[in-house]
Structure 1
C-alpha cells in the first residue's frame, strides 16, 4: 500500500510541475522574452506536451523568439492537433487553407468546429454555406456560425447578419434548433473533459481571416459600398431581378459575385454606408442591405 501511495503522490506532483514549466514559458513570452519562452517549450514539445507544441507553432507563425517559418509552424501545430489540442487544430486548418490545401484544412477545421472552437465554427460554417469543398448544408452552417457569434467572435456576428438576409426564416429556425442541440451535446462532453490547457495569451495569437463569407473591414471613399439584393443559384435569375429593380436603382451598376454554388446580386457603387442604406430604403419591400465593395 505504501508503494502505491508513493507512486500516486509522484504522479500528482509531476502534473503541476509540467504545467508550471509551460506557464514559465508563457511568463517569459509575456515579459517580452520570446527566446527564453521558446527554449522552455522546445524540450516539452519534444516529450509530446501539446500546449508547448502549440505555443512553438505560434512562435514560428509570428516570428517571435525564432525566425518566422510557416513550415515549422505547421509541423508543431500538427503535433499538437493530433494530440487533440483545439486551438492547434484550428490554427493548422487555417494555415493549410491559406496554403491552398483545402481538403486537409477542412478536415481539421471540421474536427475543431465539432468540438466548439469558435474560429473553426465560423470558417467551417462558411464553407458549408458556400458549398466550398464540402457539401452545401445551410442549416448546419447557420447553426455553427450562430454558436461562434454567441461566443463573441466579431466576424461571426457579421457573417451571421449576411446569412440572415440569405436564408429563409424556416431554415434559420432549424439552424437555431440545431445550434441548441450542439450546445447541449457539447456541455455533456465538457462535463467529462479534462481542464483546459495552458495557452499563449490571446494577444499573441495570429489573427483569423475567415474565407468568403466573413465581411472585410469597412472602407471609405468613392464607391466604397454596394447594396446586396439576394443570392441565386443561377446568374440569369439575378439578372432578371436587377432588370426589374433598375428603374429604382437610379443608375447603379449590377455586380454578380460568385459565392460557392450561389451568385450574389449587388448594385452600386455608393460613396458611403448611409447612401447604400438609403438606396435600400427606396427598394422596400425588396430584401436589401449595404455591403463593402470588394
Structure 2
C-alpha cells in the first residue's frame, strides 16, 4: 500500500507540474504574436515571421492568419499564394473570421470561383464590402450561383453604403437592367440586412430573368476599412489586406488627381531604420501610379523614422491617395501638417 500511495503522490505532483508548465508557456506564446505584430509594424518582416511560424505550426489561429498574410503580400517570405491559402484554411477551420474572408477573396482571385463562393457568401452576410460586391456581381450575371437580381441589388447597395465607390457606380449600371419593382425589393432587403434581420436574404428571392447585356470588366477596389494582421485584442493594427480578383460590373476607376501644394501629407509607416523607409518608398513609387510625382519626407522622432509623402492639397485628396496606396498592399494614413 505504501508503494501504491507513493506512486499516486508522484502522479499528482507530475500532473501539477504539467499544468504549471502549460500556464507558464501560454503567456509568452500570446506575447510572441504581439511581438511579431510589433516587428511587422516596424518593417522587420523576417523577425515577425520568426515569431509567428512556431506558433502557427503549434496551431495558433492568429499566427496562422498572419503567416497567410505574409505569404499573400510577399513580406518576409517569397510570395506564395498556395502557402497563403494553406495558412488561411488552417485558421479558418478554427473559426478565424478574417481568415475566412481572405480565403474566399484569394480563391476567387486565383480563379477557383466555385470554391470561393461559400466563403464569400458568409463574408458578405457579415458585411465584408468586397465580398458583397463579388457576390452581387455573380448574382446579377448568373455566374457560379443562380441569377437573383433582388439579392444582387441588395448586396450591391450594402457594399455601396460601406463606401466602395465601384459598388455605387455598379448600382447605376444595374438600374439600366433591373426593373423598378425588383430594385425596390432589393432596397427593402438591404434595409433588413442593415437591421441584422437574418431572414431578410432568404425571404426576398427573385425569379430568374433574361441575361442582361454584357458590362465591361474592371478592377475590384480594396475595402474601405484597413485590414489588420492579427486578431489579438491587445495587438496594434499591422499591414493592410490587398484587394481580391476583379469581377465584372464596376466601371474603370477615374484618373488620379495630380499632386498639388497643400497642408496635408500621407504617412506610409514608422521604421526603426531609415533604410527600410527608403526601401518602401522606392517600391511604392514604382507600383502606385502618380506617387513618384510627390516628395518623400523622412521625419525622425527618437529612434523612429516616419515615412511621409506630400504635399497634398486637401483631406479628401489625401484620402484618395491613401486609397491607391492601400490597393498596392501598404498601409497609409492622412496627416495634417
State TM-score, norm by structure 2: 0.53
Q: Does the residue aligned with 2:176 lie in a helix, a strand or coil?
A: helix
Q: Which residue of 2 is the match for residue 103 of structure 1?
A: 114
Q: Which whole-Å CA distance do the structure 2 matches of 1:165 and 1:15 have between them?
A: 58
Q: Which residue of 1 is the match for residue 231 of structure 2?
A: 197
Which ranges in structure 1 are unaligned for 5 or more consecutive residues? 1-9, 188-195, 221-294
Q: Does the residue aligned with 1:157 lie in a helix, a strand or coil?
A: helix
User: Which residues of 2 match residues 25-44 of structure 1 at below 5 A?
Assistant: 25-44=36-55
Q: Which whole-Å CA distance do the structure 1 matches of 2:141 and 2:114 have between them?
A: 15
User: Which residues of 2 match residues 69-148 of structure 1 at below 5 A?
Assistant: 69-148=80-159
**Structure 1 19/165 Cα, relative in aligned 2: closer, same or farther at 3 Å?**
farther
Deviates more, 1:72-81 or 1:18-27: 18-27
**Structure 1 28/93 Cα, relative in aligned 2: closer, same or farther at 3 Å?**
same
Q: Kindly indicate whether residue 218 of structure 2 is the aligned counterpart of residue 182 of structure 1.
A: no
User: Which residues of 2 match residues 44-63 of structure 1 at below 5 A?
Assistant: 44-63=55-74
**Structure 1 127/46 Cα, relative in aligned 2: closer, same or farther at 3 Å?**
same
Q: How many residues align?
A: 205
Q: Which whole-Å CA distance do the structure 2 matches of 1:159 and 1:33 have between them?
A: 40
Q: Which whole-Å CA distance do the structure 1 matches of 2:73 and 2:248 have between them?
A: 24
Alpha-carbon offset, residue 100 of structure 1: 2.2
Q: Which whole-Å CA distance do the structure 2 matches of 1:51 and 1:171 have between them?
A: 42
Greater share of residues in helix: 1
Q: Kindly indicate whether residue 183 of structure 2 is the aligned counterpart of residue 172 of structure 1.
A: yes
Q: Does the residue aligned with 1:166 lie in a helix, a strand or coil?
A: coil
Alpha-carbon offset, residue 210 of structure 1: 3.1
**Structure 1 27/72 Cα, relative in aligned 2: closer, same or farther at 3 Å?**
same
Superposed CA RMSD in Å reads 3.2
**What per-residue deviation string (whole Å, max 9, x for no partner) do you get for residues 107-141 of structure 1?**
21112112222221111111111111100111111
For residue 213 of structure 1, the aligned residue among 246, 249, 254 is: 249
Kept in 2, the 8 Å contact 1:86–1:115? The answer is: no
Q: Which whole-Å CA distance do the structure 2 matches of 1:140 and 1:105 have between them?
A: 18
**Structure 1 75/166 Cα, relative in aligned 2: closer, same or farther at 3 Å?**
same
Alpha-carbon offset, residue 20 of structure 1: 4.2
Q: Does the residue aligned with 1:61 lie in a helix, a strand or coil?
A: helix
State TM-score, norm by structure 1: 0.61
Alpha-carbon offset, residue 183 of structure 1: 2.4
Higher relative contact order (CA 8 A, sep 6+): 2
Alpha-carbon offset, residue 185 of structure 1: 2.4
Alpha-carbon offset, residue 48 of structure 1: 2.6
Q: Which whole-Å CA distance do the structure 2 matches of 1:151 and 1:20 have between them?
A: 34
